[in-house]
Structure 1
């Protein structure tokens, strides 16, 4: 059996390692799986799009393709995050749609066991945990594990335009 066949038939368990990219929005750390990430770019100004959704910062040219840039903090309900020289664009792809996530700064790329991810505790009404896959501790900090599939349930449609 080839390595590809072994990988194709392998189901992920809670002990399997996953790779994540961690980033800051303000003072809070978040992360996403690297499987949806195409690249990380330095901050570049985007072109505003009139009447776009409030979290859309604008559009940018990515090697000839025009992609939307999302203000990730705004998408998560944390208010508008103003880009700086330390900001980055995390370019992601979901369902064939490519888009950029503006983050305040990328902090790390990590490999961790799924068993390290703790479920989000039940909170009072009004807290929407739909975008959050879990939370884990890393070097004394708590990192919120985001699920891009849930954040952008139908990429290319209402979330971007």
Structure 2
């Protein structure tokens, strides 16, 4: 009898891909709590332009960010496909307004390339890496950088 030992396979990571500012981004699926249809939010005074307001999510009030505006790609234009991705990082839950959600992407860690050195600390902080999907590049969002309001827009 032939004894075949299987080589250990590389761990797979799952991401939800979405569009913001006509660009492709993704978040690790473990950070996403739910995806909701866009509904108007309650605006708060003196908030940055990328903070649209707050939303009541089953008794919890969460801030809603326009991810496109947060990344300096312009405001998200109203569209029936717009959704809010409710995500959590470091014990904080937020909502991210995006243009649309695309698909679930399952990739090996080796498929995630480092963010190129583009002489922008804000860009390196906001994007954890890049995944090549066909002819497109999908950026892996650093949710902690989205939450970091100290440095302004990422």
Match for residue 75 of structure 1 among 70, 94, 103? 70
- What is aligned with 1:8? none
After TM superposition, list the pairs within 5 Å mapping 1:75-154 onto structure 2.
75-124=70-119, 128-153=123-148
After superposition, the C-alpha distances for 1:117-155 in whole angstroms (9 at most, x for unaligned) are: 11122224687321111111113211111111233248x
Cα RMSD of the aligned pairs, angstroms, is: 2.3
Q: Residues 40 and 29 from structure 1, CA distance in 2 versus in 1: closer, same or farther, beyond 3 angstroms?
A: same
| Aligned partners of 2:68 and 2:75 also within 8 Å | yes
Specify the structure having the higher radius of gyration (Cα): 2
Query: Normalising by structure 2, what TM-score?
Result: 0.83
- Count of aligned pairs between the two proteins: 144
After superposition, the C-alpha distances for 1:7-62 in whole angstroms (9 at most, x for unaligned) are: xxxxxxx9311111100013210011111110001111111111112210011111
Task: Provide structure 1 residue ranges, at least 5 long, that are not aligned to the other structure.
Answer: 1-13
Task: Provide structure 2 residue ranges, at least 5 long, that are not aligned to the other structure.
Answer: 1-8
| Aligned partners of 1:90 and 1:100 also within 8 Å | yes
Q: Give the CA deviation at 1:158.
A: 9.3
- What is aligned with 2:33? 38
| Aligned partners of 1:43 and 1:83 also within 8 Å | no
